[in-house]
Structure 1
Amino acid sequence: MLKRLLLVMLCFSTTIQAQDYFFKKFQPFNDNVPSPEEFLGYGIGEHHTRHDLIVAYLTKLAETSERASIYQYGKTHEGRKLVILTITSPENLSNLDNLKQQHLAFADPAKNVTNYGEVPIFINLAYNVHGNEPSSSEAALLTAYTFAASNNPEVLKYINNAVIMIDPTINPDGRDRHTQWANSYQGTPNVTDPQDAEHNEYWPGGRTNHYWFDLNRDWLLAINPESRGKLKWFHEWLPNVVTDFHEMGSQASYFFEPMKTNASYDPIMPKENYVDLNNMFGAEFAKALDSIGSFYFTKEVFDGTYPGYGSSYPDLHGALALLFEQASSRGHEQKTAFGKITFPFTIRNQYTSSITTVKTAVANKAYMRKYQQDFFKSALTNAAKKKVRGYSFGDDYDQNRTKAFIDKLLVHDIDVYKSGNRYVVPTKQPQYRMVQTMFETYSKYRDSVYYDASAWSVANFYNMKYRPVTSLKMEEKIESTNNLVNVSAVQKSEYAYVIDWDDYSAPAVLNYLQQKGLVISSAFKPFTVKVGSQSKSFNYGSLVVPVSLQKKNAQEVYDLVQKAQEKYQVPLYAVNSGYSLKGVDLGSRYIQPVKKVKAAMLIGDGTRSYEAGEVWHLLDTRMNMPISKIPLRNFNRTNFDKYTTLVMVSGRYNLTKKQQEKIKAWVSKGNTLITIGTASKWAIDKKLVKEKLTNKEKDSLKKDSTKVVDRKPYVDAGENLGKESVGGVILRADLDTTHPLGFGYRDSSIPVYKNNTVWLAPSKNEYATVAKYSKNPHIDGFLTKKNMEEYLKPSASLIVSKVGGGRVVLFADNPNFRGSWYGTNRLFLNALFLGDKINIPSRD
C-alpha cells in the first residue's frame, strides 16, 4: 500500500512539474477539470499527440468545464474531425447566440452601434495548418486547459471579456502523418543528431493534407474540405483576432508580427492593420517572451501580400491576423548551433504567445471593435470613390466552369447577381476588398521579393472573361450554385450522340463512358449537324458516341449517356444522321476514336509533392479517374508498358542513364510523357527531346567571357538575387485552338500561371508550339524587366516534341496550380486524353 502511494505521489509530482514549466503562474486550477497530462497519460512535449486524442481531450473539457462547448465544423479528406472549442465565462456561454448577434452588428455597415467596450471580443486561436509543425497543437491543449480550468484572477478577467474559439488542428491528416513518423522513430533517450530518421521525414512529409496541398495557401482558393469548412465557420462568426501558428528551421529563433512591409504598391487592407495593430500586439509579445528568456525577431521576413494565408485572409475581413513562427525541434530534441532545442521549449513559446494574444485583445477590445466597424464601413466608401460599379462575367460555352467560379465567390460571402445571360458582382458591398481580390490586377509593387505569389486575381485562374462596368443591371441574387447549370435532357438516338468538349466536365464524361465500355471518338475538325429540328455547331474536340458501333444495344447506350449527363451536367445531344450541314461528316477520318487512358505519375524523393498532389486531386475529385502513383524507389522494377501516359511534375530527377533510356524507349512505342515545370527542363537537359531552353545569359557569356562584373554590397545579395526568381505571376499566352491540346478553347488568348524560371524556346517544328507568350504578356504580378524582355517574351508556355512513335508534352507552367486553375486544367486533360492523337508533322 505504501509502495503504491509513493508511486502515485511520484506520478503526481512529475505531472505538476511538467505543468509548472508551462503555466505555473495561472494556478489554481479546477480539480474537476483534467489537465492534458492527466487525460493523455504523459506530459505535454514527451510525445507527439495524435489528432483523435486532441479532439477527445477538448471534448472532455466541454464535458467537465462549464466554460466550454465543442463544435464540429467539418471533416478532412481522410475523415478526421475538424473542431472548434469555445471557451468563455459560463454567463457568456449561456448567452452566446445573443452575444454573437451583438458582435456581428459591428461588421454591418448599415448599423451604427457604439457599445464597443461592452461586448466580449471574439478571438480565434488557430493552430497547426502545416502538419509537421506540431508544437502549436500541443500548445492548443495547454491553452484550452488554462482558459477552461484556471481560477486565477487574470484568466477570469479574460474569459469574462472574450469569447475564445480554439481550432486545435487545421490540418489533422498532415499532423497525424507527422505524428506517426516522430513517435515511431523516437528513441529513449532522445536522439539529438539532426541526421537521425526522427528529424527527417520521408516524402511527402506531414506538411500537407491528404492530397499534398498546402492548406495555408487555401484560404483564398478554398479547394479542400478543411478550408471550406473553416471559411463557412469564419464568415458566420467574423472573429476580431485570428492566430496562425507555424514552425521554421531549427537554427532560427522565434518570429512574431510585424512582418516585412506589405509588397503591394497600394495595399487594400488599411494601414492601421499592418502598422498600428501589429505594433500594438508585437510590443506585448516581446514583453511576454522576454519574461521567459526567449529570443525572437520581427519585420525581417514573411509578408502578408498574398491574401490567402491564415495570417492575411482575416485581415481582409476587419480582423487582425497574427503570424507566429517557432524554430522547430523536428522531433523531440535536436542539436543546433545554439545548443539543444526541445519539443517542450517550442511548445512553451507558442503557449506564451497564445495567452498574450488573448491578454492584448481583451485590453484593447473597444479599439478592435471600432476598427472592425470602420473596416466594413470604409469598404462602402472606398467603393463609392471608384468609377467601376461592378464586374460582369460569364462564359457562354462552359456553364460548369462558370458555376465553379461563382461557387468561389459565394464561399467568400461575395454578393453575385444574375444580369441577363451573364452575372454581375457589384463593388458596393461589405466584401468590396474581396471583390478587388477576385478581379483587380496590378503592375506596380513596393517590393520585388515575395514570400509567395504576387498575383492572385482569381477570375484569371478560371479563364473567366470579365469586364468592369460603370452601371449595373442586377436581377436575381445568387444564393447557391444549385441549378445554375441548365442543360436540356438528352433524347434517345439510334444513331449517335455528341458531347460538347467546351464544357469543363466533358473529360469526366469521356472517362465515365469509356470506363463503362463505350467507344468514343473526338472531332479534329468542327462540324454542324441537325439536333432535332435545329442546326447545332460543334467545336474542335467534340465527342461522338456512335450507337451502332458499340457492343451494347441502343437502350443500354442511352442509359449510360443519360447517367453521364445527370452526373456531370454537360451539354449532350442526340443526332440521327452522320451527314453534316457544315464541316466534316461523322464518319470522317477527322472523327478519330479516343484510346482509353491508363495514367501513371512518378512520385517520391526529388519530385514536388504539391504538383503531384494537384494532378492526383484533379483526376480523383473532378474526373473520377484513378492514376497510379509510382514511387521513384520502385522505378527499376516498374513495367511502364501497362500505361499509356506518364506524368512527371517538377522536381530534381536523379535518374541514371539506363533509367532515362527506359523512359525514352517507352515513349517511342507511341506513348505520351507529360512534363511540368522543371521536369520539362530535365527532359531537354537530358536530350530526351530535341528542344532547347531560352538562355540569353549563357549566350551573352559566350560572346564576352572577359566582361567585368560590377561589385555589389554583400548584404544586398539575397534581395538582388531573390527578385530574379518568379514567385508567381499571371501571364497571357497565345494558344493554337486547332491543336488537340487547345481543344475546348474558343479564345486563343488565355491566362497562364508562372512560378518558375523554366523558359522553353519555341520548337523548330512549326506545328509543335501550342502556346507562346503574347507580345504583351503581363496580366498580374511582379516580374523583372530582364525576365520579361530576355526570357519571357521569346519563350513558349507549351510545346509538344516527337520521340519515335510517341511524344513528350512539355509544360513550362503549371496548368493545375493549387487545384484552382480551371482555365488551364483543360490543357493538361487534353494532353492526358488526346495525347496519343498528336501526330506532329515532321520534315525529318
Structure 2
Amino acid sequence: MFKKLLVLVLLYGSTVTAQDYFYEKFKPFNQDIPSPEAFLGYGIGEHHTRHDLIVAYLEKLAEVSDRASIQEYGKTHEGRKLVMLTITTPENLGNLETLKEAHLAFTDPSKSVSNYDEVPLFINLAYNVHGNEPSSSEAALLTAYTFVASEHPEILNYLNNAVLFLDPTINPDGRDRHTQYANAYQGNPEVADPQDAEHNEYWPRARTNHYWFDLNRDWLLGINPESRGKLNWYHQWYPNVVTDFHEMGTQSTYFFEPMKDNASWDPIMPKENYEDLNTLFGNGFAKDLDSIGSLYFTKEVFDGTYPGYGSSYPDLQGGLGLLFEQASSRGHRQTTAFGEITFAFTIRNQYVSSISTVKTAVNNKGYMRKYQQDFFKSALTNASKKKTKGYTFGDPHDQNRTKAFIDKLLLHKIDVYRSGDTYSVPTNQPQYRMVQTMFETYDKYRDSVYYDASAWSVGNFYNMKYKAVNTLQLGEKITSVANLAKPSPVEKSDYAYIMDWDDYNAPAALYYLQQKGIVASSAKKPFTAKTRKEAKKFNYGAVLISVSLQKQDAASVYTMLKEAQDKFNVPIFAVDTGLSLNGIDLGSGNMSPIKKTKAAMLIGDGVRSYEAGEVWHLLDTRVHMPITKIPMRNFNRVNLDKYTSLVMVSGNYDLSEKQLAKIKDWTSRGNTLITIGTASKWAIDKKIVKEKLTETEKDSTKITTRKPYVDARENIGKESLGGVILKVDLDVTHPLAYGYRDATIPVYKNNTVWLAPSKNSYATVAKYSKNPHIDGFITKKNMEENIKPSASLIVSKVGSGRAVLFADNPNFRGSWYGTNRLFLNALFLGDKINIPSEN
C-alpha cells in the first residue's frame, strides 16, 4: 500500500479528476461553492496560478459563502493587492468584532481573563513570501476551498473553534515574476530534465519583491509596503499561530519544526515556545504526513534566532510561528536522485500541513490562549527584574533619521516618549521583548553557525546613540511621527541660503533643487554664520545656495527652497552676509561647487541582486533620484562618459581585459567608481586600484589536527560571518563622512572582505576600532587576524578619478540609515575627493 501511495505522490498526473488527490477525505463539499479547478479552468498543479486569479478566486468565495469575508491590507510596490480572507462559521463572522475584543484581552497584561476554551483561536495561514517558492499559494487555494465549502464534521469543528485569516501571497510581485516564467517555459509534455530552462530562472530570479528584497527578512525591519501592511494588520489581531511556507532545494524532502536550537545564549522568547509548542505541533505534522507517505526531517537545520522571519516574529508576539520547507519542483516536473518530483506533490504537502496546523491548534485551544496571556504578563515580570528601566536616544542634528527610527518603534507598537530633543522607551511595557530586540546587544552565544544574522540591535542600524538608564522621565507619549522633524520655515533672502548636510534627507533635497537648475556648493570646513534668527555653527558639507549665482530670480529661488523644505523637512537657513562669525566665509575657496550626479549600476548574471536592489530602493524611494541599471550583457555598447558615478555591488564579475580597461579608463578621467563587498576585493585583484587585502601570516610549522568528518560543516561554518555589528573610527573631515559629527559609528559586516588600510595617510576613511565588537557572533580568529587590522572604507586614486571601496554594505536590507550617508556622499561628493600624493 505504501509503495502504491508513494508512486501516486511522485508521479501524480495532470488530469481533471485528480483534484481528489488533495482533499478527498473532506468530502462532501457544498456544490454551490466553486472549486479552484472549476473557477480557474485547470486543475491545481497543472499550471502556476497568477496572483490576480488567486485574489479573484478568494473574492468569489467571499461573495458566495457566508463563511468568508475578504479585506485588502495593502498594496505591493507594483500595485498588486495584498488580501486576507477571513474564514469561520457564519455566526463567528457576524460577531467578529466582539470576538476580537475577547481575543485581545489575552494580550493585555492588565486584564485577568480565564475563558481560555470559550473564545475561538485566531490562526493566520500565510503563504508564498518567496516568489519562486510557489507551491504554498496553490495550497492556499485548496485550503480556502476546503474550509469554505467542506461539510465534513472535522472541518466544521475547526470553524466553530477558530477564526482563520488566510493570506494567500505575501509577495505577489515576486510570485507573478515566477509564474510568468514557469508557465512561459512549461513544456507539453512536461520536461523533467533539470537542465531545462523551466527549472533555471534568469537573473534576478523571483525570490524577491520588486526591489529585490527578501521579504522574509523584513518583518523586523519593516522597509517594504508588503511588510508594513502585514505588520499593521498583525498588531490589530495578534494571531495565536502563524504559518510560514517555503521551498528548498529539489534534492531534499520536507522540513517542519522543531528547528535547530536557538543560538542565543538566553533567548528572549519563552522556552515553552521553542521546546514544548514546536514539539506539540511537530508531532501532529509527522502523523499527518506519515498518512500520505511523505518523507520529512526536523531539527537539523534552519534556526529562529533572527527575529525578523515570518516564523520567528510571531514568537515575539505571544504566538507561534511555524516554518515549513518543501523540496521544490522548480517548475512543473523535475528529475531528482529519488525520482521525479511534481508541482502537485509539493502542493499536497503544503496543503496537508495547512490543515494539520489548524487541527493541532484547535485541539490545544485553551493551552494556546493561556500561553499568549502568560507571554505578555511575563514581559512585565521580566522587565521588572532588570536594572535597566529604559533607553534614551535622539540626534538633534538629524531629526529625520531620528524620526525614521521612531517610526520603526511605533510600527512594532513600542511605547515612545518625548522630552525636548530626547526620546525615551521604557522597558515596563507589553512589548518589552521588542524593546530588547531594538536595543540590547550580545557577545555570548550557544551556537556559532547561523542561518542568517547574529546581530540585529536596530538602534545601531540607525546610528542612534542610545543609553540604557536605571531611572526614566517619560514626558509626552508619541503616537505618530507626522509632526516630528518639522524645521522652522525658511525665510526669504536676497543673498544666500545654507542647508544642513547633517540631515538624512539633505541629499534628496539637494537633488530636487539641482533638478530645478539650482547651483549649490559644499563646505569643506565648518563655519559659524549669522542666520536670520541666530548664530549657527555649520558642519562639514553644509550646502550653500547663493542667490546671485542662480539663473532664476530671488523670488523663484525662494519658492524652490520652500518646496524642497516642505517635501523633505530639511533645515534651511537664510543669511544676509557672506562674512562668517567663525571659520570660512561663504566666498571661500573651501566652498566647492557640487556637480549634479548621474549614476549607473551594473546588474545581471553574477551580480548580487539583494545589494543591487538596496541601492535602487534607496535612490528611488528616499532620494527620488534615478539610477541607470546597466545589464552586463549590454556593457560593451554602453558609453560610460554620460555618467559621473558607477556602482558595482558584490558579485562575480567575469569581465574581459577590454571591459576592465573600459572601467579603469573611465574612472581615470575624473569619475567615481563605487564598489561594495566582494566588488571591492575584485577591484583590488584586477589591479584597478593599487590597494591590498589584509593578509594573515601562515604558520608553516602548525600541525593539522585530525577531526571527525561529521563536524566539518559546523567547524568551518563558524568562520563565516552571518552578520555582526562593528564599530569603526571615522574621519569626519573626509568628504565621504560629511554630515557625521561622531568619529565612531556602527557598521554591519556579513562578508569576509578584509581591506588593508591604504598606504596613503589620507585615504582610509573608516577603520575598525581598537575594540570593534558591538553585537553578534564572531570568532576570535576573525576578530584578531582579520577585523582589527582592516579598514571598512577606503578611497583609492585612479588617474584623475577615484575608486570608493566599501568592505561592508552601507545599504544593508534598506535599514542601515546610519551608513547610507557614506554611500550617498560617494555619489554626490565623489568629485570632491582629491587624494593628496605623499612623497
- The two structures share one fold, judged by TM-score above 0.5: yes
Q: Does 1:164 align with 2:164?
A: yes
CA distance in 1: counterparts of 2:578 and 2:187, whole angstroms: 72
CA distance in 2: counterparts of 1:322 and 1:618, whole angstroms: 32
Q: Does 1:806 align with 2:804?
A: no
- Aligned with 1:437: secondary structure? helix
CA distance in 2: counterparts of 1:325 and 1:636, whole angstroms: 41
Q: Does 1:821 align with 2:816?
A: yes
- In the TM superposition, 1:382-397 aligns within 5 A as 382-397=382-397
User: Which residue, out of 750, 754, 772, partners 1:777?
Assistant: 772
CA distance in 1: counterparts of 2:805 and 2:217, whole angstroms: 26
CA displacement, residues 134-154 of structure 1 (integer Å, 9 cap, x when unaligned): 000000000000000000011
**Amino acid in the other structure paired with 2:770:** K
C-alpha root-mean-square deviation of aligned residues, in Å? 0.9
CA displacement, residues 176-214 of structure 1 (integer Å, 9 cap, x when unaligned): 000000000000000111111100110011100000000
Identity across matched positions, percent: 77
- Range that drifts further, 413-422 or 350-359: 413-422
What's the counterpart of residue 612 of structure 2? 612
- Aligned with 2:376: secondary structure? helix
- Aligned with 1:442: secondary structure? coil
What's the counterpart of residue 345 of structure 2? 345
Q: Does the 8 Å CA contact 2:14/2:45 hold for their aligned counterparts?
A: no
The alpha-carbon deviation at position 534 of structure 1 amounts to: 2.1
CA displacement, residues 309-329 of structure 1 (integer Å, 9 cap, x when unaligned): 000000000000000000000
CA distance in 2: counterparts of 1:821 and 1:414, whole angstroms: 20
CA displacement, residues 41-81 of structure 1 (integer Å, 9 cap, x when unaligned): 00000000000000000000001111000000000000000
- In the TM superposition, 1:305-454 aligns within 5 A as 305-454=305-454
The alpha-carbon deviation at position 708 of structure 1 amounts to: 3.3
- Aligned with 1:484: secondary structure? coil
**Amino acid in the other structure paired with 1:748:** A
- Aligned with 2:229: secondary structure? helix
CA distance in 1: counterparts of 2:638 and 2:704, whole angstroms: 49
What's the counterpart of residue 568 of structure 2? 568
Q: Does the 8 Å CA contact 1:136/1:350 hold for their aligned counterparts?
A: yes
- In the TM superposition, 1:148-159 aligns within 5 A as 148-159=148-159
Q: Does the 8 Å CA contact 1:15/1:37 hold for their aligned counterparts?
A: no
CA displacement, residues 341-396 of structure 1 (integer Å, 9 cap, x when unaligned): 00000000000000000000000000000000000000000000001111001001
What's the counterpart of residue 719 of structure 1? 714
Q: Does 1:757 align with 2:752?
A: yes
What's the counterpart of residue 300 of structure 2? 300
Instruction: Structure 2 unaligned segments of length 5 or more: list them.
Output: 1-12
The alpha-carbon deviation at position 521 of structure 1 amounts to: 0.3
The alpha-carbon deviation at position 657 of structure 1 amounts to: 1.1
CA distance in 2: counterparts of 1:65 and 1:383, whole angstroms: 46
**Amino acid in the other structure paired with 2:81:** K
CA distance in 2: counterparts of 1:127 and 1:826, whole angstroms: 36
Instruction: Structure 1 unaligned segments of length 5 or more: list them.
Output: 1-12
- Aligned with 1:700: secondary structure? coil
The alpha-carbon deviation at position 710 of structure 1 amounts to: 1.7
CA distance in 1: counterparts of 2:719 and 2:695, whole angstroms: 14
Change (3 A) 1:49 1:14: closer
Q: Does 1:700 align with 2:695?
A: no
Q: Does 1:117 align with 2:117?
A: yes
What's the counterpart of residue 743 of structure 1? 738
- Aligned with 1:646: secondary structure? strand
Q: Does 1:729 align with 2:727?
A: no
CA distance in 2: counterparts of 1:571 and 1:99, whole angstroms: 48
What's the counterpart of residue 524 of structure 1? 524
CA distance in 1: counterparts of 2:213 and 2:533, whole angstroms: 48
The alpha-carbon deviation at position 709 of structure 1 amounts to: 1.8
CA distance in 2: counterparts of 1:832 and 1:779, whole angstroms: 28
What's the counterpart of residue 497 of structure 1? 497
CA displacement, residues 457-516 of structure 1 (integer Å, 9 cap, x when unaligned): 000000001101111111111000011113111111111100000000000011011111
**Amino acid in the other structure paired with 2:784:** E
The alpha-carbon deviation at position 17 of structure 1 amounts to: 2.6
Q: Does the 8 Å CA contact 1:732/1:778 hold for their aligned counterparts?
A: yes
CA distance in 1: counterparts of 2:158 and 2:579, whole angstroms: 78
CA distance in 2: counterparts of 1:181 and 1:187, whole angstroms: 12
Change (3 A) 1:707 1:418: closer
CA distance in 2: counterparts of 1:15 and 1:80, whole angstroms: 31
Structure 1 runs (4+) deviating above 2 angstroms are 13-18
Q: Does the 8 Å CA contact 2:16/2:43 hold for their aligned counterparts?
A: no
- In the TM superposition, 1:443-482 aligns within 5 A as 443-482=443-482
Q: Does the 8 Å CA contact 2:14/2:46 hold for their aligned counterparts?
A: no
**Amino acid in the other structure paired with 1:282:** G
What's the counterpart of residue 278 of structure 2? 278
CA distance in 1: counterparts of 2:315 and 2:535, whole angstroms: 52
CA distance in 2: counterparts of 1:148 and 1:202, whole angstroms: 38
CA distance in 2: counterparts of 1:173 and 1:420, whole angstroms: 42
- Aligned with 1:220: secondary structure? coil
Q: Does 1:33 align with 2:33?
A: yes
What's the counterpart of residue 290 of structure 1? 290
CA displacement, residues 248-294 of structure 1 (integer Å, 9 cap, x when unaligned): 00000000000000000000000000000000000010000100000
**Amino acid in the other structure paired with 1:619:** L
Q: Does 1:585 align with 2:580?
A: no
- In the TM superposition, 1:504-523 aligns within 5 A as 504-523=504-523
- Aligned with 1:477: secondary structure? strand
**Amino acid in the other structure paired with 2:791:** A
CA distance in 1: counterparts of 2:546 and 2:718, whole angstroms: 55
CA distance in 1: counterparts of 2:23 and 2:401, whole angstroms: 52
CA distance in 2: counterparts of 1:644 and 1:82, whole angstroms: 39
CA distance in 1: counterparts of 2:287 and 2:645, whole angstroms: 58
Change (3 A) 1:14 1:204: closer
Q: Does the 8 Å CA contact 1:453/1:728 hold for their aligned counterparts?
A: yes
What's the counterpart of residue 828 of structure 2? 833
- Range that drifts further, 706-715 or 161-170: 706-715
